[in-house]
Amino acid sequence: MTLSTTQTRVRHPLPPARWPTREEAARSRWFSPIALGRRLAAEERTWVPAMVPWRATEDGFVTPEVLDWYARFAEGQPGVLVVEATGIRDIPSGPLLRIGDDRFIPGLRKLVEIVRARSGGRTRLFIQVLDFLTVRRRPEPEKFFGRYLEITDAVRGQLALWLDDKRWREASEAGVREFLLTADRVTLETVLTDRELEALDYGYRERVWDMHLPRIRALPQVLPGLFAEAARRAKDAGFDGVELHYAHAYTMASFLSRLNTRTDGYGGSLEHRVRLPLEVLAAVRERVGAEYVVGIRYLGDEVIEGGSRIEEAVGYGVRFAAAGVDYLSVSKGGRFEDAKQPKIGEAVYPYTGESGYECMPTVLSDARGPFGRNVPLAAAIRRAVREAGHATPVVTSGGIGTFEQAEGILERGEADCVAAARQTLADPDWFRKIRLGYGHLVRRCEFTNYCEGLDQRHKQVTCKLWDRKLEPGDASVKRASDGKRRLTPPVWSPPAPA
Ligand SMILES: Cc1cc2nc3c(=O)[nH]c(=O)nc-3n(C[C@H](O)[C@H](O)[C@H](O)COP(=O)(O)O)c2cc1C
Ligand code: SF4
C-alpha cells in the first residue's frame, strides 16, 4: 500500500521506547556481529545509510566540515557507516562529493582515517557511488522560448495546423519564438510535445531511454568502467567497501525501472533492465577483487505509476545475490516522475511527491504510520534471496528510531541489519548510548523532515533538535553558513559514575 494524496493524513505520536540495559543490549541481535562479504565483519548490525550533508566544495572535494560530519557519526560507533552519494564522473556537480578522478583520493583518505580514529576502529566504512543524468532548473519562460526550445519543422507544422495557416511552416525562428512566448496555455499544450512542455514547466530532464542522445545511448558502454574506477579509488582511499547506488531518482534505478523502454537490450523486459546493473556489478567486482565488499542499494518499490514494484525488486535481488553482491540495502520511492513542480529557477526535487514521501516518511501519515513502513519490502526480498540459496545480508531502513523496532525486525527475520538515517542525524551517539545502557538519553528524531527541507535547497543539512543546545553568543560552536544553526550535534560523553 502507498500513501495516496487523497487519503487523510493523521499525525502519529512517536512509538513508545523501552531502552535495554547494557547487558540486554550486549545480548541483543542488533548489537551482534555480522559477516559482510568474504573477509569483513561488522561488530554490530547497526547501520547508518548514506545521507548527503551538502558540505563538499563546489568542485567535489572533502572539506573540514565533511570530516567533522563523519567524525561525529563515527563517535556513535555504528556497525556500518555509509558515506553519502558520491559522483563517479569528473564533471561539475555542485557541493556533492566526487570520486571521478584520483585527485579526490587524498581527501577521501582523510575521511577514512578520521572515522577509524573516532570510532576506535569499531565502525566499518563504505562509500556510496552514483551516476546521475542532467536535470536543469525550471526556466524563465523568456529564456525557454527565447533560447532553449529547439524550433523544429515539427513545431512549425503543429503551429500551422493549430492556427490553420500554412505560412507558419515557413516562419522564421525568431517569429515562432516570439509567438510562443505570448501564446495561451491551450496553444502550448497543442503545439509542444510532452517533453517540451515538461522542460518548460519542470525544467529539462534526461531519461535513460532518450536513445536519440548519443551520450545516453552510450551509457551501457561507459558506466561499467566509470563505476569500476570509482570503486578502485574507494579501495585505494581505504574504505572497507563500496555501495553501488541503484536507488531513488538516478541513472541505475532508471535502468531497473519498468518505465525503461530502451530497445538496445538494456530496457523492456526484466532481464534486459537488470542487464546493465549486473554488468556494472561484474566490472566493479573484477576491478576490486573477490574479497572487497561491494553492496547495492536499490528500490523495493518505485511507488510511481507504471514503475517497478516488489515483484520486480525480488527478481533483481535474487539476480544480484547470485552475481555475488555482498549486501542488499533496500530503499523505497524517491523518483522524479511524481515530484512537485519546482519554482522558476529551482530544480525538481525527487522527494516531494508520493514516492518521495515513501522514501522519507514523516509522522503526518496514513493509518499505517511512518514507522518501519518499508520493512515488508526488505522482508520479501530477503525471503526470496534465501529461498534461492543465498545468504546475502539484507539491510532495511525507513522510520526506525527505537531499539525495540530494530530488535523486532531482526528477531522476525525481516532483515539482517537495521539502518537509521534521520534518527542517527538527530543523535549520532544513539547506538553508543544504547550499548552503554543510556538509552533513556537518546535524543529522538521527530520525523517531521526539517533536515530534508534543507537537503531540498542544497543547504548544509542539520537537525532542528541540535539547536536546542545553542547559546546565542557561544563562539565555540561552528555554525552553518546562514550563521543560525549548529553545524554539528552537541557532544556527548557517558555520565561520570556517581
Ligand atoms: C538529508 C538526507 C540525505 C539523504 N541522502 C541520501 C543519499 O545520499 N543516498 C541514499 O541512498 N539515501 C539518502 N537519503 C535517504 C536515507 O538514506 C534513508 O533511506 C531515508 O532517510 C529513510 O530512512 P530514515 O527513516 O531512517 O531516515 C537521505 C536522507 C536524508 C534525510
Ligand atoms: S530535523 Fe527533524 S526529521 Fe530531521 S533528524 Fe532532526 S528531528 Fe529528525
**Model confidence band, residue 474 (pLDDT cutoffs 50, 70, 90):** confident
**Model confidence band, residue 3 (pLDDT cutoffs 50, 70, 90):** low
Q: Which atom of ligand 2 is the closest one to the Cα of 446?
A: 7
The 10s digit of each residue's pLDDT in 89-146 is 999 888 899 999 999 999 999 999 999 999 999 999 999 999 999 999 999 999 999 9
Residue-level length of the chain = 498
Query: Cα of 444 to ligand 2 centre, how many Å?
Result: 9
DSSP string, 249-314: TSHHHHHHSTT---SSSSSSSHHHHTHHHHHHHHHHHHHH-TTSEEEEEEES---STT---HHHHH
Q: 412 in the Ramachandran plot: left (φ > 0), alpha (ψ -120 to 50) or beta?
A: alpha
Tell whether the model's pLDDT for residue 1 goes beyond 50: no
Q: Is 405 in the pocket of ligand 2 (CB under 6 A)?
A: no
Closest protein CA for atom 1 of ligand 2: 463
Mean per-residue pLDDT for 316-341? 97
The 10s digit of each residue's pLDDT in 370-408 is 999 999 999 999 999 999 999 999 999 999 999 999 999
| C-alpha to C-alpha distances, 328 to 276, 284, 308, nearest whole angstrom | 17, 16, 17
Query: Cα of 460 to ligand 1 centre, how many Å?
Result: 14
Strand-pairing partners, residue 82, are 126
Alpha-carbon torsion, ordered 381, 387, 393, 399, to 10 deg: 30
In terms of Cα–Cα distance, which of 477, 231, 458 is closest to 346? Answer: 458
Tell whether the model's pLDDT for residue 2 goes beyond 70: no
| 419, 329 contact by CB (below 8 A) | yes
Q: How far is CA 395 from the centre of its chain?
A: 14
Q: What is the mean pLDDT of the chain?
A: 95
pLDDT value, residue 357 = 94
| 133, 207 contact by CB (below 8 A) | yes
Tell whether the model's pLDDT for residue 425 goes beyond 50: yes
The 10s digit of each residue's pLDDT in 60-75 is 999 999 999 999 999 9
Tell whether the model's pLDDT for residue 7 goes beyond 80: no
Q: Would strands 46-48 and 80-87 be described as parallel, antiparallel, or unpaired?
A: parallel
Q: How far is CA 284 from the centre of its chain?
A: 20
CA atoms within 13 A on the CB side of 459: 18
Q: In this structure, what C-alpha cell is assigned to residue 189?
A: 499544450
Residue list, ligand 1 pocket, CB within 6 Å: 49-52, 84-85, 128, 245, 247, 297, 331, 359-360, 397-400, 420-423, 451-452, 455, 461
Q: Which atom of ligand 2 is the closest one to the Cα of 362?
A: 3
The 10s digit of each residue's pLDDT in 347-373 is 999 989 999 999 999 999 999 999 999
* Percentage of residues in the chain having pLDDT higher than 70: 98
The 10s digit of each residue's pLDDT in 178-232 is 999 999 999 999 999 999 999 999 999 999 999 999 999 999 999 999 999 999 9
Tell whether the model's pLDDT for residue 320 goes beyond 80: yes
Alpha-carbon torsion, ordered 335, 151, 187, 340, to 10 deg: 20
| C-alpha to C-alpha distances, 360 to 352, 423, 449, 455, nearest whole angstrom | 10, 12, 8, 12
Query: Cα of 152 to ligand 1 centre, how many Å?
Result: 41
**Model confidence band, residue 261 (pLDDT cutoffs 50, 70, 90):** very high
Q: In this structure, what C-alpha cell is assigned to residue 263?
A: 530497445
**Three-state secondary structure call for residue 411:** helix
Q: Measured between alpha carbons, how far is 92 from 86 in angstroms, rounded to an integer? A: 12
Strand-pairing partners, residue 86, are 129
The 10s digit of each residue's pLDDT in 427-467 is 999 999 999 999 999 999 999 999 999 999 889 999 999 98
Q: Is 250 a known active-site residue?
A: yes
Query: Cα of 300 to ligand 1 centre, how many Å?
Result: 15
Query: Cα of 407 to ligand 2 centre, how many Å?
Result: 22
Buried b (16+ CB within 10 A) or exposed e, 472-483: eeeeeeebbeee
Q: Is 454 in the pocket of ligand 2 (CB under 6 A)?
A: no
Q: Measured between alpha carbons, how far is 262 from 377 in angstroms, rounded to an integer? A: 27
Q: Would strands 417-419 and 394-396 be described as parallel, antiparallel, or unpaired?
A: parallel
- Residue 366 is which amino acid? D
Instruction: Tell me which residue has cell 529551482.
Output: 346
Q: Which atom of ligand 2 is the closest one to the Cα of 426?
A: 5
* H helix runs in 48-150, sequence order: 64-75, 105-118, 141-143
Tell whether the model's pLDDT for residue 4 goes beyond 60: no
The phi, psi pair for 2, rounded to 5°, reads -120, 165
Q: Measured between alpha carbons, how far is 378 from 374 in angstroms, rounded to an integer? A: 7
pLDDT value, residue 148 = 96
| C-alpha to C-alpha distances, 244 to 94, 257, 324, nearest whole angstrom | 21, 16, 13
Q: Measured between alpha carbons, how far is 417 from 429 in angstroms, rounded to an integer? A: 18
**Model confidence band, residue 468 (pLDDT cutoffs 50, 70, 90):** confident
Tell me which of 70, 246, 250, 349 is the catalytic residue: 250
Is the CA virtual torsion 318, 320, 326, 327 positive or negative? negative
**Model confidence band, residue 498 (pLDDT cutoffs 50, 70, 90):** low
